[in-house]
Chain A
Amino acid sequence: MKKNKQLQKTVTKLMEMSFKDGKIIESQVVRSIKALKLLPRNEAIFALTEYCKLLKRKERAHTMYLETVVPLSLEVIKKAKKIVERTVKITKVVTQINPEILGGFKLRVGDEVWDETILGKINQVKEVIRG
């Protein structure tokens, strides 16, 4: 479908209005979706898809994903969050247990990943040996 620049701008504005301090305002989201639904069908499909995409992207930028082998205590999670919040506001924390990383942790916020896992270190050694 051909890009409608004006519509794209409107969608971006609606998305920005749906967030306050990195948190989603649900009522605003509902209002935005209602407004977008009123558009002609082809435009509405495009606008809603874009709106959802942007919402997810923005939410991801304020969500901290923490991958470990063993479950972490709340204290440790809080500490990690505090460190990350020096650069970006965190509104949501998602922890995941992944035995494949062998040890350590993997932290992800937006497009940034801090790899402190044993698997990552093994891969570093592998790269050096391979040249």
Chain B
Amino acid sequence: MADLIQQIEKEIQGLKLKASKQNVGVVTEIGDGVARIDGLSDVQFSELIDFGPSTGSGRITGLALNLEEYSVGAVIFGDFTKIKAGDEVKTTGQILQVPVGEELIGRVVDGLGNPIDGKGLIKTLKKYPVEKIAPGVITRQSVNVPLQTGIKAIDAMIPIGRGQRQLIIGDRNTGKTTIAVDTIVNQKDVICIYVAIGQKTSKIAQLVAKLEEHDAMKHTIIVAASASDPATMQYIAPYSGVAMGEYFMDQGKDALIIYDDLSKHAWAYRQMSLLLRRPSGREAYPGDVFYLHSRLLERAARLNKDYGGGSLTALPIIETQANDVSAYIPTNVISITDGQIFLESDLFFAGFRPALNVGISVSRVGGAAQTKAMKGVAGKLRLDLAQFRALQAFAQFSSDLDPETRASIERGRRITEVLKQLPYFPVPLEEQVVSLWAVTNGFMDEVEVEKVREFEQKYIAHLKLREKKLLSSIAQEKILDEKNIKELEKVTKEFVGIFAKTGKGVKK
């Protein structure tokens, strides 16, 4: 008790009480998280407004978004049911800030950075503004370090670099979140921020449990604005998340932020805008919905050495309706990002998981960041797959194929099998390289398609047991030189022989 009194005394020791001049207004209209306030003549755009004390320990705050001649339209964060018409509100002279720092790692917070995981208060030393201008041209450098997702198809054909913005797009239940979670699980030196927007609380809880199960929460922050939260919280959550990520980027660290998903974010913004009586445009979205996402995604960057060399990679997720990528929000986000990973429900239900459509998925800048080892195998892989896709359609109409065409199709089938992967089991770079090298160089041509995955597993296990040095040299040097290739050829031939001897799944 004495300690507490001493602490309070210490806190108020240097306090100078002063007469404060405040700019006030009166609430004239309130509803659905949006308030119209008469007065507040000195309020600035995006300024924090004080609505008075809430039922809890904190205060209800709002954000001035519509500045009109005599009134102000504001969005409210917190319990807006406690506010009534006639209440006095005042300006604060501050902009909205969220706590940032290492202390947030491993925690689940709401859109304003308040903990919601029941693990107690988060005491951070710093706060960052939620809205911030993205890093300029002078501070940036091009993307040149890969961000390994652990997913073979992505790392080989749609590589992501640190500081890149790569969109994950697809219908519901096509494995968008799984790709994001896999990427988080695969990170070792990258701090991950997962922003859940408009999702079911149970789904968020499941995700946290999954990350804890894979020991990934120790480098992850979850910013949750669930479907039960007001639209205002869903609107602000991604900006809070990116502010948290920017802190790590400014510290010279690498961070990854996942926005799951921006379609619901746009819905929340549409709701807010319509309630604020802003004019609506296409699909009833307001005119600035492009800027809403562009200013958010532009904050992902790779800083140059003079500015610490940190990076913030963004993986926004967009949910399409019936594979329609030409809708308003998908086209907007596609044009903002540096590439997209397109997931298809047809592929998903056909058993190709992750259900990537490698034909229309693209990474515009990630290729520069790809390791030499992966680049070496990925070129041939892409060619073989493209050839397979072209021939597969043709082969459906003809049963009598020449041996060359048949070989191409058979190779393609095996490559597709190798690219299939179980969720939450990311594959390290060196294992990806050797598997893809083996399949593209025809070492799996003799293995039956159904047995390809078994072959791959045993092959990796064999390499781990016998050629650990070779794997670690690929992992460290990230290069597949001639010496390595010769050695791999020798070992792989030997293993094919062993696998054939077992007599299972090998053509005779």
Chain A residues in the interface with B (C-beta under 8 A): 53, 57, 108, 110-116, 120-121, 124-125, 128-131
Q: Does B397 contact A (CB under 8 A)?
A: no
Q: List 13 A-B contacts (CB under 8 A).
A: A57-B70, A110-B41, A111-B23, A111-B25, A111-B41, A111-B42, A113-B22, A114-B21, A124-B20, A125-B17, A128-B12, A128-B15, A129-B12
CB of B64 to closest CB in A, whole Å: 13
Bound CA–CA A57/B38 (angstroms): 9
Given contacts A129-B11, A129-B12, A130-B57, contact A113 B19 (CB under 8 A): no
CB of B288 to closest CB in A, whole Å: 21
Tell me which residues across on chain A come within 8 A of B8, comparing CB atoms: 129
The answer to whether B12 and A111 touch across the interface, beta carbons within 8 angstroms, is: no
Q: Does B470 contact A (CB under 8 A)?
A: no
What sequence of 0s and 1s flags, for each residue 44-83 of chain B, a beta carbon within 8 Å of any chain A beta carbon?
Answer: 0000000000000100000000000010000000000000
Bound CA–CA A39/B13 (angstroms): 64
Bound CA–CA A124/B15 (angstroms): 9
Tell me which residues across on chain B come within 8 A of A53, comparing CB atoms: 70
Bound CA–CA A57/B22 (angstroms): 18
Q: Does B39 contact A (CB under 8 A)?
A: yes
5 closest A-B pairs by beta carbon, nearest first, are A111-B39, A111-B41, A116-B19, A113-B22, A121-B17
Given contacts A57-B70, A111-B25, A113-B90, contact A128 B11 (CB under 8 A): yes
Given contacts A111-B25, A129-B12, contact A124 B17 (CB under 8 A): yes
* Residue in B12, B22, B38, B40 whose CB lies within 8 Å of A115: B22
Q: Does B479 contact A (CB under 8 A)?
A: no
The answer to whether A112 and B11 touch across the interface, beta carbons within 8 angstroms, is: no
Tell me which residues across on chain A come within 8 A of B15, comparing CB atoms: 124-125, 128
CB of B14 to closest CB in A, whole Å: 9
Q: Is the interface of B mostly helix, strand, loop or mixed?
A: mixed
A114 nearest CB neighbor, chain B only: B21
Tell me which residues across on chain B come within 8 A of A111, comparing CB atoms: 23-25, 39-42
Bound CA–CA A131/B41 (angstroms): 28
Bound CA–CA A130/B53 (angstroms): 12
A53 nearest CB neighbor, chain B only: B70
Bound CA–CA A19/B65 (angstroms): 32
Chain B residues in the interface with A (C-beta under 8 A): 8, 11-12, 15, 17, 19-25, 38-42, 57, 70, 90
CB of B70 to closest CB in A, whole Å: 6
A61 nearest CB neighbor, chain B only: B41
CB of A44 to closest CB in B, whole Å: 21
Tell me which residues across on chain A come within 8 A of B90, comparing CB atoms: 113
Tell me which residues across on chain A come within 8 A of B57, comparing CB atoms: 130
CB of A52 to closest CB in B, whole Å: 13
Tell me which residues across on chain B come within 8 A of A130, comparing CB atoms: 57
B23 nearest CB neighbor, chain A only: A111
Tell me which residues across on chain A come within 8 A of B11, comparing CB atoms: 128-129, 131
Bound CA–CA A48/B23 (angstroms): 28
CB of A59 to closest CB in B, whole Å: 14
The answer to whether A120 and B23 touch across the interface, beta carbons within 8 angstroms, is: no
Given contacts A111-B41, A113-B90, contact A125 B12 (CB under 8 A): yes
CB of B355 to closest CB in A, whole Å: 48
Tell me which residues across on chain A come within 8 A of B20, comparing CB atoms: 114-115, 120, 124
CB of A105 to closest CB in B, whole Å: 10
CB of B448 to closest CB in A, whole Å: 66
Tell me which residues across on chain A come within 8 A of B17, comparing CB atoms: 121, 124-125
Tell me which residues across on chain B come within 8 A of A120, comparing CB atoms: 20
The answer to whether B12 and A112 touch across the interface, beta carbons within 8 angstroms, is: no
CB of B362 to closest CB in A, whole Å: 47
B24 nearest CB neighbor, chain A only: A113
The answer to whether B22 and A112 touch across the interface, beta carbons within 8 angstroms, is: yes
Tell me which residues across on chain A come within 8 A of B38, comparing CB atoms: 57
A111, A115, A125, most chain B CB atoms within 10 A? A111
The answer to whether B40 and A112 touch across the interface, beta carbons within 8 angstroms, is: no
The answer to whether B42 and A115 touch across the interface, beta carbons within 8 angstroms, is: no
Tell me which residues across on chain B come within 8 A of A108, comparing CB atoms: 24
A116 nearest CB neighbor, chain B only: B19
Bound CA–CA A125/B19 (angstroms): 13
Bound CA–CA A120/B70 (angstroms): 27
CB of B81 to closest CB in A, whole Å: 23
CB of A65 to closest CB in B, whole Å: 11
Bound CA–CA A129/B42 (angstroms): 28
B22 nearest CB neighbor, chain A only: A113
Bound CA–CA A64/B394 (angstroms): 86
The answer to whether A112 and B23 touch across the interface, beta carbons within 8 angstroms, is: yes
Bound CA–CA A125/B14 (angstroms): 11
Bound CA–CA A112/B15 (angstroms): 24
B8 nearest CB neighbor, chain A only: A129
Tell me which residues across on chain A come within 8 A of B40, comparing CB atoms: 111
Bound CA–CA A125/B15 (angstroms): 8
A127 nearest CB neighbor, chain B only: B59
CB of A80 to closest CB in B, whole Å: 13
CB of B19 to closest CB in A, whole Å: 5
A53, A110, A115, A116, most chain B CB atoms within 10 A? A115
A60 nearest CB neighbor, chain B only: B39
